[in-house]
Amino acid sequence: MFSEYMLPNANPYLFWLFVGAAIVIQGISKSGFGGGAGLFGLLLMLLVMEVDKVAATLLPLLILCDMNAIYHHRRNVDWAKLRAIYLPAIGGIVLGAFVWWKLGQDEVATYKNYIKCFVGVIGIVFGLYILAKERSMTWVEHHHAGAKTAVVAGVAAGFTSTIAHAAGPIVSLYIFSQGLGKTLFVGTVAWTFTLINLTKLPFYIYVGLIDTHVLLFGACLVWLIPIGSWLGKWMHYRIPEKWFNRVIMVLTLVSSVHVIWKTGVLQQLFTG
């Protein structure tokens, strides 16, 4: 029924296993560990799915995860800090949507390996970010990001999020630098991603990424979100975030390298 979502020669059982695990990971990440591990779920899906279908399938599901997050943090938000990064993010979202529209005109299949490489590189950067997270946060804590940084971070977050749903480190580092305290930090990050993802939705529909068939496919996966959310809350109190991040770092780095290698782009560069 959803064979067009699978990569050629993909094992159907492996397809559903990887896609299902990716959605559960999104729920765990959003509810238990601040959303950062979601990139690993994205990479899992790229191993068995067409790249445009991954982006389209994830967005409505991410919005549902976001709604769950802001329900718990509906009053924990600094609107001034949120506006500072969200408004520039709109420009990045428009730019990212233009890229998807242009790819739609020239056939996504022509450029899909480059998009996968882009996501793989983001995954490697994210893995290294986790490795140096504590040091990064310590450095950021003493360097309050101003208005110019907010514009750059916002545009980068909007573009990266639109192309690959991978703006977590950008948004987290900027908002952490504002010295909001733990509660306001978590709530403001949750609200920021909610607004960014809701803003992306009409653009995804306009460029043809999301249609009724995508929504039907997502409906087959939506029941996994509360499972991931429950697991995330359960793990939050039982597994130290430091160890969780280390496991995710290794898995993200390995899967990123694997995704990049499978595209054949590196081989072309070295032999061409």
Give the DSSP letter string of the chain.
--GGGBPTT--HHHHHHHHHHHHHHHHHHHHHSTTTTHHHHHHHHHTTB-HHHHHHHHHHHHHHHHHHHHHHTSS---HHHHHHHHHHHHHHHHHHHHHHHHHHHH-HHHHHHHHHHHHHHHHHHHHHHHHTHHHHHHHHHTS---HHHHHHHHHHHHHHHHHHS--HHHHHHHHHTT---HHHHHHHHHHHHHHHHHHHHHHHHHTTS--HHHHHHHHTTTTHHHHHHHHHHHHHTTS-HHHHHHHHHHHHHHHHHHHHHHHTHHHHHHH-
Mean pLDDT by 10 residues, the chain (272 residues): 78 91 84 67 85 90 86 83 94 94 74 80 76 62 69 92 83 77 78 94 92 91 89 77 71 78 61 56
| pLDDT the model gives residue 237 | 73
| pLDDT the model gives residue 32 | 64
- Whether the CB-CB separation of 126 and 56 falls below 8 Å is answered with no
- Torsion angle in degrees (nearest 10) through CA of 117, 125, 25, 119: -20
Task: Return d(Cα 231, Cα 65) in angstroms, integer.
Answer: 13
- Whether the CB-CB separation of 191 and 77 falls below 8 Å is answered with yes
| pLDDT the model gives residue 86 | 95
- Whether the CB-CB separation of 57 and 41 falls below 8 Å is answered with no
- Whether the CB-CB separation of 221 and 227 falls below 8 Å is answered with no
- Pick left, alpha or beta for residue 9 (phi over 0 → left; psi -120 to 50 → alpha; otherwise beta): left
pTM exceeds 0.75, yes or no: yes
Task: Return d(Cα 248, Cα 111) in angstroms, integer.
Answer: 28
Residue with tokens 């800090």: 81
| pLDDT the model gives residue 138 | 61
Q: What are the distances in angstroms from CA 118 to CA 125, 165, 228, 259?
A: 11, 12, 27, 10
Task: Return d(Cα 92, Cα 123) in angstroms, integer.
Answer: 19
| pLDDT the model gives residue 255 | 78
Collect all residues with Cβ–Cβ distance below 8 Å to 177 and sequence separation of at least 6. 140, 141, 143, 144, 145, 149
Task: Return d(Cα 70, Cα 189) in angstroms, integer.
Answer: 9
